[in-house]
């Protein structure tokens, strides 16, 4: 990719802009006024600035180079000319450190800001008004006035280079993409179980050994067994300190701060492979290979002072390489089992008067924070650093939903919101049929665009601690630069607008219109982007025994056609105009139609079961997991059947039995009762061992009717099955269904640990 990032993303001509009556600037500026006339950029145009300011000269050279890319001529700097583009720093308190103003007349472009950052952002807006490709014609900018500044200070993108390594040129391209849309924080995940990617001079084995693994590419990531000691590493890579310094400088030129993540105290099998003495067991091992592994250490020994000496040495080199205020220490998903059986860790708990291993993790994180504070830096970590007590000055990155961020903000700690839904860009964004394989989930462009980083639970005072948001890109399934481009484009643009533009000024329709020019620019530049989510969104609603389905589309100008008999819709099928009443068991299918062409890999499909218990209240003996609540507490009687997507229309129970009771409202005759369940081996979801059906007239005394055993093999991959009792019954008002949970089977990565039960519907006929 050409180093001149700002030339890459200028998109369309001013003639087209005026015809469309829309400026395709993303993110949408705070205020825009378009006036009569245009400003012409040609060989008679110069860039004017205060030559005493080095930052302005650097910015001017960027802009001149960008124009040269588009026109073939570079704009002279600080020269007499017919027309000028003036860059000016002055006091403008109302727009803050990153804001800018632009005033364009036929004779002059005046770009003003408080700091160089605003000048760069203003240039990005101007360049989005120009062609994407070189043209022999003069370049034109419409006459206009813009006042602009960001809503949030942290506007971030994350990239995991441990699971799959991406070289310096790909990292620079990623930074270019961020810079084009005014994102300012690059969270660089450099360390994890599968690879250590940063050269540390004092500990060369971290990259000699820890950066290389056995890569079993013929197996799906989650199914890869741990490599054996005699297997030769085949995959890896790392960044030299010289490369790091170059990339840090490259990012700084574009107003992007790089926040490095050095994982601790877990997810560090790569470090332990290099230096086994850092673990509790001190047993030699290899970096992890991406899935099924047992008896491998992934934690530092929290009771060993040598571990802290090692980490302080590492962090000294890290802070020398990265000038960022924040250093990310991870802190997520720490399996504390090894600490429970480690004499040194238990001694540490006793000596420090800690309650348990959770407080031991807090001790670990607090000790590291104190070291970083001594180096003039601040610590940030995933929301698990809340466990056992939060370090005094720590900033929390909330990924397991927003709960951790809400808790931290209420404790007056700074927060960055990055919930898995909708800000994990390693999840599917369209279909997902027909898309490149992803780890799971479903975060569409509109899901990202609609995200508001300020939770409703926070007061206005607490909301001040929310610094912003970022999207995360984990790379278990992302192995190439083209795949990486596909996963972030165009979702990165939706994130950019979500964290920059005032909430009241955001509109999905406006963004969608402006986006089209950017997609054409991506295509012209050969960037591999997702063309859109062409799958119709089917949204069921069950209330008062009436079941309806609302159909929606993210595609601008699309029409929706649907069927109710399970057949694939065509142009002749029913045209959707209003919510559809579902009054019988059916399969609804729907498609998007654009310019009389059916779009998408396959129709959206949703099964509905119309039965006697629809809309009835469900009471649970054991609570539903807060992570898998389907579409509400009565999801088991909403008439909506689940799909292979685990986060949609399934109630989840981990390690506990599902015991659900339904009140039919009055006594009636029943001939069949069913419970729908899902098995998904890789996700630790298994069929219940058995399902028991009971009925009652008064809700107190129950009669057991039958127990239906599980007929599905434990090693079956993905299966949906209805446990069914068929029996003619009279005078039934209450129904109780109990599904007995079990453990993950032998040979499974979670062998012997609690499994999940997933259920979608209790069908009463």
Token digits of residue 44: 């008679």
Q: Are 144 and 32 in contact (CB under 8 A)?
A: yes
Q: Are 78 and 47 in contact (CB under 8 A)?
A: yes
Q: Are 586 and 593 in contact (CB under 8 A)?
A: no
Can you tell me the distance from the alpha carbon of 111 to that of 64, in angstroms, rounded to the nearest whole number?
15
Out of 192, 215, 357, 387, pick the active-site residue.
192
Can you tell me the distance from the alpha carbon of 179 to that of 715, in angstroms, rounded to the nearest whole number?
47
Alpha helices in 375-470 (DSSP H): 403-410, 420-423, 445-449, 460-463
Q: Is 597 a catalytic residue?
A: no
55-to-60, 108, 250, 252, 475 alpha-carbon distances in Å: 9, 21, 14, 11, 36
Q: Is 413 a catalytic residue?
A: no
599: left (phi over 0), alpha (psi -120 to 50) or beta: beta
The helix (run of H) or strand (run of E) holding residue 115 is none
Can you tell me the distance from the alpha carbon of 737 to that of 158, in angstroms, rounded to the nearest whole number?
44
- Residue 348 has a CB neighbour count (10 Å cut-off) of 20
Q: Are 384 and 331 in contact (CB under 8 A)?
A: yes
φ, ψ dihedrals at 61, nearest 5°: -65, -35
Q: Is 333 a catalytic residue?
A: yes
Token digits of residue 525: 């530049």
Residue 361, CB half-sphere, CA atoms under 13 Å: how many?
28
Out of 333, 523, 583, 718, pick the active-site residue.
333
DSSP per residue, 535-588: SPEEEEEEETTEEEEEEE--STT-EEEEESBSPPP-TTSEEP-SPEEE-SSEEE
Out of 267, 427, 607, 748, pick the active-site residue.
267
The DSSP bridge pattern shows strands 395-398 and 378-382 to be parallel
What is the sign of the dihedral through the CA atoms of 504, 506, 507 and 508?
A: negative
The residues assigned a catalytic role are 192, 267, 333
């Amino acid at each position: 990719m050409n180093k001149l990032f700002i030339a890459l993303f200028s998109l369309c001509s001013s003639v087209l802009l005026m015809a469309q009556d829309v400026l395709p600037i993303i993110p949408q500026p705070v205020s825009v006024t378009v006036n009569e006339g245009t400003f012409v950029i040609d060989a008679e145009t110069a860039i004017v600035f205060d030559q005493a300011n080095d930052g302005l000269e650097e910015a001017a050279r960027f802009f001149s180079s960008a124009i040269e890319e588009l026109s073939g001529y570079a704009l002279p700097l600080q020269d007499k000319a017919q027309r000028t583009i003036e860059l000016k720093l002055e006091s403008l308190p109302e727009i803050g450190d990153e804001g800018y103003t632009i005033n364009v007349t036929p004779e002059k472009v005046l770009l003003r800001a408080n700091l160089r950052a605003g000048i760069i952002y203003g240039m990005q807006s101007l360049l989005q008004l120009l062609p994407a490709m070189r043209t022999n014609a003069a370049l034109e900018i419409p006459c206009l006035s813009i006042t602009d500044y960001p809503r949030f200070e942290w506007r971030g993108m994350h990239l995991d280079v441990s699971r799959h390594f991406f070289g310096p040129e790909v990292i620079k391209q990623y930074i270019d993409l961020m810079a084009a849309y005014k994102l300012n924080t690059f969270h660089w995940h450099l360390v994890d179980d599968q690879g250590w990617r940063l050269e540390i001079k004092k500990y060369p084995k971290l990259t000699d050994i820890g950066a290389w693994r056995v890569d079993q590419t013929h197996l799906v990531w989650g199914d890869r067994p741990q490599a054996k000691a005699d297997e030769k590493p085949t995959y890896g890579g790392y960044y030299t300190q010289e490369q790091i310094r170059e990339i840090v400088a490259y990012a700084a030129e574009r107003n992007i701060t790089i926040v490095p993540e050095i994982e601790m105290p877990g997810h560090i099998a790569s470090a332990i492979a290099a230096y086994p003495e850092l673990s509790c067991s001190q047993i030699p091992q290899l970096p992890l290979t991406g899935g099924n592994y047992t008896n491998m250490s992934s934690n530092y020994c929290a009771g060993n002072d040598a571990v802290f000496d090692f980490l302080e040495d590492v962090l000294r080199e890290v802070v020398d390489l990265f000038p960022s205020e924040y250093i990310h220490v991870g802190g997520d998903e720490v399996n504390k089992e090894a600490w429970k059986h480690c004499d040194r860790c238990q001694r540490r708990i006793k000596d420090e008067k800690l309650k348990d291993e959770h407080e031991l993790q807090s001790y670990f994180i607090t000790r590291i924070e104190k070291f970083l504070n001594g180096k003039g830096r601040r610590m940030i970590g995933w929301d698990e650093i809340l466990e056992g007590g939060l370090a005094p000055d720590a900033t929390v990155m909330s990924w397991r939903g927003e709960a951790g961020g809400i808790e931290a903000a209420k404790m007056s700690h700074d927060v960055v919101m990055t919930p898995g839904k909708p800000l994990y860009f390693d999840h599917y964004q369209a279909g997902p049929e027909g898309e490149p394989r992803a780890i799971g989930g479903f975060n569409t462009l509109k899901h990202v665009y609609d995200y508001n980083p300020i939770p409703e639970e926070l007061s206005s005072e607490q909301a001040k601690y929310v610094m912003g948001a970022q999207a995360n890109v984990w790379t278990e399934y992302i192995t190439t630069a083209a795949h990486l481009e596909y996963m972030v484009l165009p979702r990165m643009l939706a994130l950019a607008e979500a964290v920059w533009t005032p909430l009241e000024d955001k509109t999905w329709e406006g963004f969608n219109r402006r986006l089209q020019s950017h997609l054409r620019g991506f295509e012209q530049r050969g960037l591999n982007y997702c063309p859109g989510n062409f799958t119709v969104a089917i949204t069921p609603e069950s209330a008062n025994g009436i079941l309806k389905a609302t159909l929606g589309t993210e595609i601008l100008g699309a029409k929706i056609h649907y069927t109710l008999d399970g057949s694939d819709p065509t142009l002749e099928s029913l045209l959707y105009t209003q919510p559809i009443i579902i009054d019988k068991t059916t399969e609804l299918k729907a498609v998007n139609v654009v310019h009389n062409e059916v779009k998408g890999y396959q129709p959206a499909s949703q099964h509905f079961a119309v039965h006697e218990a629809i809309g009835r209240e469900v009471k649970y003996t054991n609570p539903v997991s807060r992570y898998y609540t389907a579409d509400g507490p009565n999801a088991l009687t909403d008439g909506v059947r689940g799909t292979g997507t685990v986060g949609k229309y399934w109630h989840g129970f981990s390690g506990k039995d599902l015991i659900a009771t339904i009140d039919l409202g009055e006594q009636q005759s029943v001939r069949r009762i069913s419970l729908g369940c899902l098995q998904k081996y890789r996700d630790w979801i298994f069929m219940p061992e058995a399902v028991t059906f009971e009925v009652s007239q008064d809700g107190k005394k129950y009669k057991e009717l039958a127990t239906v055993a599980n007929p599905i093999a434990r090693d079956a991959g993905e299966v949906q099955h209805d446990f069914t009792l068929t029996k003619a019954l009279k005078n039934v008002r209450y129904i109780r269904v109990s599904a007995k949970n079990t453990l993950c089977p032998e040979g499974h990565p979670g062998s012997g640990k609690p499994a999940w039960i997933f259920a979608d519907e209790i069908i009463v006929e």
